[in-house]
Structure 1
Amino acid sequence: MNTPIRTRLRARLASCLAVISAAGMMLVGLPAAPAQAAPGDTAQITTGKRCDEMHLGKKYPRTPANSGAPGGAQFEESWPGLEEKYFYDHLFKGFEDVPTPTAQELAQLGSTQEDVDAWDKKYARSKDPDDMKQGIYTRYNRYLKGGTGARLPFKRWQKRFLTQNQQNNRKGAAFERKTVRDFNLVGPDWLCEVTVEVRDQNGKVIARRKYDAYNAKKDQFAEFKSTSKYRPKQYAADRIVLRHKDATYDFTKKNLVIYGGEKAAKGTVNQYGKLNQALRGERGTTGNPVRIYERRATGMGVYPTTKYSKYYPVMNPNPARGTAGPMNDIAFGSGRNLNDAKRIQREFNQANTRSALGRGPGGVDFTTLEIQYVGNPVKGKGLDYSFKADYVDDEDTNPGYGGQAKLQLASDAMFTWLALDPRSFWVNLNPDQPDKIMDPTFGKTDAGRVLLVADLDMKHDYARAMDPRVEPGKTYWDAMSDVGLPCSHSLRNWIVPKAAKVRVDENGIYILDAPLEVKSAPIDFTTPSPNGDCSLTKEQVQTSQRLVDQYILPGIERKINEDPKYADLRRVYKSRVAAEYIRRQDKDHPTDFHAIIGSGDVKRWPLRAPNTGWTPKKTYDEYVTSFTKGDYSYPCEYNGENKTCVMGGVDFSKQPEKKISRARFQAERPRLDVTTKNSVRTETGYRDTYTAYLGGSSSGNTDNGGTPEPDPSPTGRPTHKPGSPAPEPSDSHSGGPTPTPITPPGKNDDDHGGGLADTGAQVGLVAGIAAVLVAVGFVLARVKRRRGTRD
C-alpha cells in the first residue's frame, strides 16, 4: 500500500471515530445530576432505641472515643481474617424439600397465628420434622387466606416468603449485632433504626430513609449491609437527605458510613462515588461525605439436617443421594433463560428487604463457572467441592441464568472421566478417517460432544485467522511472500493442556489454573482440497510451519483460553483434573467412587437437553463440508491462474501439572483455602475480586453445626487489616497413557511439573496422569496469495 493511500485511510478512520464518538455522546448522554435541595423543604427525624440496648441487650454508660469506623477514604476495608464468621438461625433451610400440600391436607389445618405457634411449640419439644412440616403448611394456609391478590404456588411461596425471608431477617439482624459490637457503636450517642423524612413545601414526602444507626455528635448516619449492596431507593433518598437544610436540621454537614461485610458491588462504589463528587463540590470540602467501610466476615446459617432437606443430583457417586450447598441452590434456582431469570431475581429482591441475601441467583455469570476444588474423598463421608464464577455487573437488569446446565455438565464430565478408560478420551476429525471419529461410548456423553465440537470450532477459527485480507492472516501471507513461498503446507492442529497449576494438601486439591495450548504439525491427506495441490521442499515446509506458529497460533490459543465459545471445553477439562485426583485417592484407599472408576458405564451421565439428538457423525459431516468446500472464499491467484480460493477448518493425551508449595500458595492466593472451606456452606467472595466461590457437599451433613455462638462485648477498635485406542495420524503423539515422572520427595515443588505428587503435606507419591481427551485435529491450507502493490 503506498503512502498517499495509507494517509487517506487514516484520515477516513479518524473521521469515522469522531462520528462514532459524537454519536455515542448523543445516544448515551451525560450522567444525570443528583437531586438538589429546594427552598421550603422540611425534615423530621424519628429516633429509635439505643443501639447497645437493641442489639446487645445492655446499656453502656458512655460512648467510647474509638467508636465508629476509622479513616476517611471513600472505600476502606479491614481484614480481621476470612475465618471470621457470624451465625444466625435459619431453621426453614432444613425443610426446603417439604412436598407441596394437597387441598385436603390444608383443609385439615388452621390458618391463624395461634395455630402456627402451636405447631412451633410442638416441634420445639419433639424435633419431629413432620411437626414442622405441619407448621409450614399452616403458614401457607394463613398466606392463602390472608390476601385478596393472586397467591403464589407453594414452592415459590416457600422460597420467597419462608426460606429467603427468614434468612434475610436473621442474617441481617446478626450482622447488625456484630457491627454494633465490632465498631463500638454503644453508649447514649448511638441510636438505631432512625427514620428521616423530607417533605417539599406542599407537604409531600420526597424522601423517606430509615438508617440503621445515627450519632448526632458525630453528624453521622450509618447503614449496615452484610453484603455491601446498595438499594436504588435508598440511594435516591440519600441524594436528597444529605443535601437538606432547614431551620431545624442541617444535613449538609452530616455524613454517611456504610458498614459492609462483603466486598462492595461495583454499583455501590460507583454510585456513591458520583454522589461524593457532587457533595464535595456543593459543600466546598475535600472529604468524603459517604464512606464504605468493610470488615469482611462470613455469615453462616445454622439449620438441621432432616428428611425434608433439599438435595440435588450432582457431584455424588450415590445415585440415591444428591448433594447440598450454595452452589446447587443458586445454579438450580437461576432460571433456564433470561426472562425466567429476571422473574426469579425480582422475587428475590422482594424478599431481600435488608440486602442481607447478596446478589441473588442472577448475580452469578454461569458461563464462567468452573470447578476449582475437590476435597479428599473419604468412604462414607462423601465429597466437599467448590466452584468459582464471575459476578455479573448488574443482576437486576441483566441477570445470569443457565446455572443448572453448566453445573450439570461439570459434574457429568467428572464422572465420565472416572467411569471410562482414559484410552477412550479422544476425538478425531480427519477427512481420511470417517470410521475413527471418537470412541463409541465416549460419543454418548456431553464431555465427548464438547471435545468434538470444540475441535471443529478451533478449525473454523484457524481458517478465519488465515484470511489474507485481515490480520493476522495478512501478516502471515506477507511473511510467506517475503521468503518466496508460493503456498502453505498441509498441517494438523490440536489442543493440548499446558501444565495445570494445582495445590494439593491433606484437605484436597485446589485447581488454580488449567490453561490449554494449540499445537500444529505438517501432515498429508488423501482427501483432495478444493484449492489443489502444492508441493514444498522439507525446508520450505519447516519455514511455513514456523510462520504459522509465530503469526497464527497465538491468537487461536488466546481464544481457546478466553473466548466464551470454548468455556465448556475449559469447564470439562477442569473436571478432568478433579477426576484424576479422585481416581488417585481411591487407588490409595477405596472411596465412595470406587465402583464407578473404570466401570465403563456412563448411563447416569448421558447427553442432556438440548443435545440429546447429537451424534459424532453430525459434527464430522460439518467438518468434511468445511474441509472440502471451505468456510469462506476470496479472489486469489493459484499456480498462475486467477480463481476463487477457499479455507477450511484436541489432543489431551497428557495432563501435566505444576505443583506449588504451601508458601507460594499462601503468597499468591492468601486465604483462598479458608474462602474455599467457607464456600461449601455459603456463597463467598474472594478478597478484592469480583469472583464468587460456591460449594457443596455430598456428605449428607448440610447444616453448619452447632448453634449461634454468644456475642462477646465490645473490646475496642478491630484489627485492620477399557476404551478403543485413539488413531495415530502422525508420530507426534500417542493416544495411549503417558506416564508422568514422580516428583522426588524433598525437592522444591515449584521446580517440577508432572503428576499430582507430594506438595508439602505428606499425601504420598502418586502415579502420573493417564491419557486425557485425545482429540486430533487437521486442517488443509494450500493457498497462494495474489500479491498486490506493496508498501
Structure 2
Amino acid sequence: MSSRSTSSISTRSISTPSTSTRRHHLWARAAVALATVGILSVSGLPQLQGTAAAAVKAQRCDEMFKLPSNPTDPSKLPWAKGDAVRPETDWDSYGFPNQRQAMDGLSLPDDPAARDRILDKLDKPYKSYPEGTPDRVYATYKDYLKRNGNTDTKYGGFGNWLNEAYIEVYGRQPRGEAFHGKVIKDLGLTGPDWICEETVTVTDPETGESYQRRYDAFNKVTKEAVEIKSGGNHDTSQAPKDRAFLKDPKFKDYKLRYAFGQPQSEDTVKYTDGLKKLGGQGRVTTYEHVSTPEPEFQPGKYTAQDTAKSIGRGADVIRQSPPTPADLKRQLDRIRAADPEGMRVRGPGGVDFSTLELRYVGKPVKGQGLNYSFSANKVDESSGLGYGGRQKAELISDSFFTWLALTPEKFWVNLNPDQPDKIMDKTFGKTDAGRVLLQADLEMKHDYAKDMDPRTGIGKQLFDKLKAENIPCTHGVRNWIVPKPAEVREQNGGLYILDAPLKVNSVPQEVKTPSPNGPCNLTDAQHKRVTELMDAMIVPDIEKKVNTDARYADLRAVYNARVAAEWIRQQDAKSPTDYHAIINSNTVTDWPLRGKNASWTPEQTYKDYVKSFTQGDYSYPCERAGRPGTCVMGGVDFSKSPKQNVTQAKFTAEHKNLPRTTDISVKAMTDDAESRALLALGGNTAAHTGTGGNPTPTPTPTHSGGTSTPPSTPAPAPSGQGGHQPAPGDQHASGGLANTGTQIATIAGAALALLAAGAGLVWLRRRKASGGGGA
C-alpha cells in the first residue's frame, strides 16, 4: 500500500445480529479490529428465513414465514384510512444475506492485456469455481464478456459490473424476500385469511385481455391485495395487470395496497397516482414502511478496505458515486434497464453529495477506530445530483488528516492587499483545506461587493438611506465568520452534532493600498451610522449565504472535519489513539491538493483578490467629489468557537430518534428520522497510524486547551474588505479553530465549534488495480 493510501477511508460492511439486539448494541459490535475478524454472520430476521425463497405456490403468510397466528385488526392496519407513512419512532433496519458483498474490493487491471492474462487462465464454466472466490467472480465476468462480443459497452468496466450486476442484482431477491417477511410480521398479516403469493386471474374488460397476477399478500375476507417492495420503485411489468385488476368487475370491491420500504420515487408516485384515479375513491393506497436493508456477509480478503479498514455500506454508496453528471446518467440508465421489476433500493443517484456533512463522531478506540455518520440531502434519482461523492468525501477525509497533522498555529489565511507575502502558511497552502478557506474568504468579499451595489436590492436600499442622511460614501470594512454557540450532545463516548450556525462579524477598517474610488472621509458620527446600517442590512444577508449557499458548502464541510479532528486531539491527549503518530507531525504529503485543484497556489487566489480590490467586480455611475463619475466595488475567521451542551432531557425530547438513525447509518444508508429531507450514511474506521512513527508512545498534550504559543513571526493582518487590522482582543483569543484573516488560537477543551446537519468521516479506499485483483 502506498504512503498516499494512509489518508484514505475505506468502505465495507459488516454482518449484524438480530434487529432488536442491534438497536441497542450496534456500536460496540461494529467497532472491531479487522485483524480479529470476530464477526458473526447471522440473520437480521432469523424467524423469517426458510420458505419464501422457494415459494411460488400460495400459502398462509404465517406458515410461510413461520410466524404465530396473531392477525391485526383490519381497521388498525396503517392503510385503513388512506395513504400512510410509518411513524419515525418505528423506523428500523433488517438483514438479508448477500455473501457476494464480501467481494466488493476485487479489481481487474485496466490494461486489456493484463486483464486478459487473468481471465484466460479460467477455462472452465463459471459455476465450476467456488462461490466467494476471485476465480468465480472473474469467470462470471468472462462469461458476460463472451456473451457480449468480448466487450463491455454496457457497464464500461469490471468495477461497475461487479457492483451493479454481480453483487447488487444477486442481492435483490433475498432482500425482497426478507422485507416481504418483515412487513408480514410487523403488520400482523397473519391468520387463516392472509395468503402470501396468491395468484389471481384478472381481465381487462376494455381489451378483453387476461393476466395472471401474483400478489405478495391477499385477503379474500377483507378484500385486499398487497404488493410489497423493499425500495421505492414499482414493477413496470405489473402495470397493465394492476390496471386490469382495478377494472375487472370480479374485483370491484377489492382494494389494492402498495407497501414500500423507502419513500416512493417520482416515477412511482406518478404511477400510483394514476392507479388511484383509475380505481376511484379509496381503492388504491400507498404505505411507506420505512426500514433500511443491511447486507449480511462474512468479510474477507477481498472486501473493500484499505489500511483504514472502514466498515459501512454508507461508505460503499459514496465509493460507487460517479464523478460527473454524464457518468451518473449512464449509471442510472444501466441500473434501470436491469431492474424492470422495481426491486432495487436507493443508491448513489438518490443523494446530493454536495451537501455531505458531519453528524456524529464516536469515541476513537485504539485498534478499533471510531463510528461515524454523515448526512446529506435526499433527492430523487431523476434530479441528476448523485455524483461527486468520492471527491467530496476525499476532501473531508484529507482535511481531517490535515487538521490533525499540522500544529494549530499554521491554520490561518490572509487576503490583504498590503501583505502579498503573508497569504497563508506555506505548508497549509499545499492542502485542500487551506485552499477552501482562502477561496471562501475571496467568495465572501465578492458577496459583500454584490450586496453593496447601489443600483439594486439591498445595496440600493442602503445607499438611498445614506443619501437621505447626506452621507457621501462608505468606509472600508473587515468581515469575518465566527461560530454562534453550538448545540451538541456528548453521549456514550461519542459526539452528536445538533446545531451550530455561523455568524458574520464586521468592523470598520482601512488599508494603505488606495481604493480606485478614492478616500472616504467621514465624521465619527457618520462612521457609526454607516456601520449601523451595514450591520442591519448587508451583514445578515452575507451570513445567510455562508450558512446556506452551495458556494460555501466546502467551507462548512472542511470546518466540520476540523471540529472532528480537534475532538480526536482531545481524546488522544487522554489516551493514545490510532491517530497519535499523525497528530502534530507537520507532514501533509499524504493529503495534497488533488484533482482539478492539484496545481492551485495561494498566489492565484491572492491575484484574483487584488484585481477585485483595485479594479472592482463591477462599475456603476456615482458622484465623486461632487461630480459625475464611475465607481467600482470589489472575508472568514474562526477564532472563537463557543459550545452549548444540550441536557439529556432536551436531547431525548428533541432528538429521540437520532441515536437509532445513527446506529443504523453505521451499517447502511438510511432515511434520517430527524428530517425526511435527509439521509444518514456512515461506518466505522479502524484508523491507520499514518507515517509519523511509533503509534503507541506516552500521550502528550495536543493543544486541548488554553491559547497557542505565538508564532515566531508576527501574525498577519486579518482579512477583510481591505485587509484590515484585527479587532481588539481577537488576535490571540482562546478557543479558536481554523482562522482566515488572523492568527489561529487553539481550541479550548469545551469550545468545539460544530456546524449543523452533519455526518462523519468517509474514509475512501484508494486501492491499486493489480494482477491478483486484491484490495
TM-score tier, shorter chain, comes to: 0.7 to 0.9
1:95 paired with 2:95, answer: no
* Alpha carbons of structure 1 residues 196 and 591: separation in structure 2 relative to 1, 3 Å: farther
Matching residue of 1:163: 167
Structure 1 SS opposite 2:381: coil
Matching residue of 2:501: 515
Distance of 1:634 and 1:269 partners within structure 2: 50
Cα pair 1:498 1:517 within 8 Å, conserved: yes
Cα pair 1:725 1:736 within 8 Å, conserved: no
Matching residue of 2:660: 674
Can you give the 5+ residue segments of structure 1 that lack an aligned partner in the other structure? 1-45, 121-128, 313-319, 702-721, 741-753, 758-765, 773-791
* Alpha carbons of structure 1 residues 770 and 261: separation in structure 2 relative to 1, 3 Å: closer
Identity of aligned residues (%): 39
Structure 2 SS opposite 1:292: strand
Cα pair 1:47 1:195 within 8 Å, conserved: no
Distance of 1:173 and 1:145 partners within structure 2: 32
Matching residue of 1:292: 286
Alignment deviations for residues 270-323 of structure 1 (CA, whole Å, 9 cap, x no partner): 65346435643xxxx4xx2222234443322211121111026xxxxxxx3442
* Alpha carbons of structure 1 residues 464 and 107: separation in structure 2 relative to 1, 3 Å: closer
Structure 1 SS opposite 2:554: helix
Distance of 2:180 and 2:650 partners within structure 1: 37
Matching residue of 2:135: 134
Distance of 1:80 and 1:449 partners within structure 2: 40
Distance of 1:642 and 1:278 partners within structure 2: 69
1:325 to 278, 303, 312: 312
Distance of 1:489 and 1:80 partners within structure 2: 52
Write the letter of the residue equivalent to 2:352.
D
1:304 paired with 2:298, answer: yes
Alignment deviations for residues 31-59 of structure 1 (CA, whole Å, 9 cap, x no partner): xxxxxxxxxxxxxxx99412527732589
1:619 paired with 2:605, answer: yes
Structure 1 SS opposite 2:433: helix
* Alpha carbons of structure 1 residues 47 and 67: separation in structure 2 relative to 1, 3 Å: farther
Q: Alpha-carbon deviation of 1:428?
A: 1.1
Matching residue of 2:335: 348
Deviates more, 1:173-182 or 1:450-459: 173-182
Matching residue of 1:431: 417
Alignment deviations for residues 395-430 of structure 1 (CA, whole Å, 9 cap, x no partner): 046241011111111111111111112222111111
Matching residue of 1:713: none
Aligned pairs for 1:441-590 within 5 A: 441-590=427-576
Distance of 1:167 and 1:112 partners within structure 2: 22
Matching residue of 1:9: none
Matching residue of 1:223: 227
Deviates more, 1:151-160 or 1:449-458: 151-160
Write the letter of the residue equivalent to 1:190.
I
Q: Alpha-carbon deviation of 1:641?
A: 0.7
Cα pair 2:406 2:585 within 8 Å, conserved: yes
Distance of 1:193 and 1:236 partners within structure 2: 17
Distance of 2:225 and 2:589 partners within structure 1: 60
* Alpha carbons of structure 1 residues 108 and 449: separation in structure 2 relative to 1, 3 Å: closer
Q: Alpha-carbon deviation of 1:594?
A: 0.9
Cα pair 1:738 1:771 within 8 Å, conserved: no
Deviates more, 1:531-540 or 1:73-82: 73-82
Q: Alpha-carbon deviation of 1:527?
A: 0.8
Structure 2 SS opposite 1:409: helix
Structure 2 SS opposite 1:426: coil
Structure 1 SS opposite 2:360: strand
Write the letter of the residue equivalent to 1:732.
P
* Alpha carbons of structure 1 residues 513 and 241: separation in structure 2 relative to 1, 3 Å: farther
Give the TM-score taking structure 2 as reference length: 0.78
1:240 to 243, 247, 261: 243
Write the letter of the residue equivalent to 2:195.
W
Q: Alpha-carbon deviation of 1:538?
A: 1.7
1:173 to 173, 177, 181: 177
Give the TM-score taking structure 1 as reference length: 0.76
Distance of 2:393 and 2:81 partners within structure 1: 40
Q: Alpha-carbon deviation of 1:624?
A: 0.8
* Alpha carbons of structure 1 residues 494 and 189: separation in structure 2 relative to 1, 3 Å: closer
1:184 paired with 2:188, answer: yes
Distance of 1:626 and 1:599 partners within structure 2: 37
Write the letter of the residue equivalent to 2:234.
R
* Alpha carbons of structure 1 residues 297 and 487: separation in structure 2 relative to 1, 3 Å: same
Which fold has the larger relative contact order, with Cα–Cα distance below 8 Å and residues 6 or more apart in sequence? 2
Cα pair 1:685 1:693 within 8 Å, conserved: yes
* Alpha carbons of structure 1 residues 388 and 416: separation in structure 2 relative to 1, 3 Å: same
Q: Alpha-carbon deviation of 1:73?
A: 3.3
Distance of 1:139 and 1:532 partners within structure 2: 73
Matching residue of 1:56: 65
1:727 paired with 2:727, answer: no
Structure 1 SS opposite 2:667: coil
Matching residue of 1:194: 199
Distance of 1:269 and 1:417 partners within structure 2: 45
Distance of 2:547 and 2:619 partners within structure 1: 28
Deviates more, 1:545-554 or 1:94-103: 94-103
Cα pair 1:86 1:300 within 8 Å, conserved: yes
Q: Alpha-carbon deviation of 1:360?
A: 1.4
Distance of 2:614 and 2:217 partners within structure 1: 72
2:366 to 379, 387, 403: 379
Cα pair 2:641 2:735 within 8 Å, conserved: no
Matching residue of 2:686: 699
Count of paired positions: 655
Larger radius of gyration: 1
Deviates more, 1:159-168 or 1:141-150: 141-150
Q: Alpha-carbon deviation of 1:441?
A: 1.1
Cα pair 1:374 1:510 within 8 Å, conserved: yes
* Alpha carbons of structure 1 residues 70 and 626: separation in structure 2 relative to 1, 3 Å: closer
Deviates more, 1:334-343 or 1:74-83: 74-83
Deviates more, 1:82-91 or 1:691-700: 82-91
Cα pair 1:279 1:289 within 8 Å, conserved: yes
Matching residue of 1:257: 257
2:407 to 401, 416, 421: 421
1:603 to 575, 580, 589: 589
Distance of 1:86 and 1:258 partners within structure 2: 19
Structure 2 SS opposite 1:415: helix
Write the letter of the residue equivalent to 1:334.
S
Matching residue of 1:38: none
Deviates more, 1:192-201 or 1:607-616: 192-201
Alignment deviations for residues 351-397 of structure 1 (CA, whole Å, 9 cap, x no partner): 556545422111100111112111100111112111100111x3046
Cα pair 1:67 1:184 within 8 Å, conserved: no
Structure 1 SS opposite 2:226: strand
Q: Alpha-carbon deviation of 1:190?
A: 1.6
Distance of 2:244 and 2:366 partners within structure 1: 59
* Alpha carbons of structure 1 residues 107 and 448: separation in structure 2 relative to 1, 3 Å: closer
Cα pair 2:256 2:284 within 8 Å, conserved: yes
Alignment deviations for residues 725-777 of structure 1 (CA, whole Å, 9 cap, x no partner): 6424233353445148xxxxxxxxxxxxx9999xxxxxxxx4545999xxxxx
* Alpha carbons of structure 1 residues 769 and 258: separation in structure 2 relative to 1, 3 Å: closer
1:86 paired with 2:94, answer: yes
Cα pair 1:381 1:699 within 8 Å, conserved: yes
1:656 paired with 2:652, answer: no
Cα pair 1:496 1:652 within 8 Å, conserved: yes
Distance of 1:195 and 1:547 partners within structure 2: 73
Distance of 1:529 and 1:65 partners within structure 2: 78
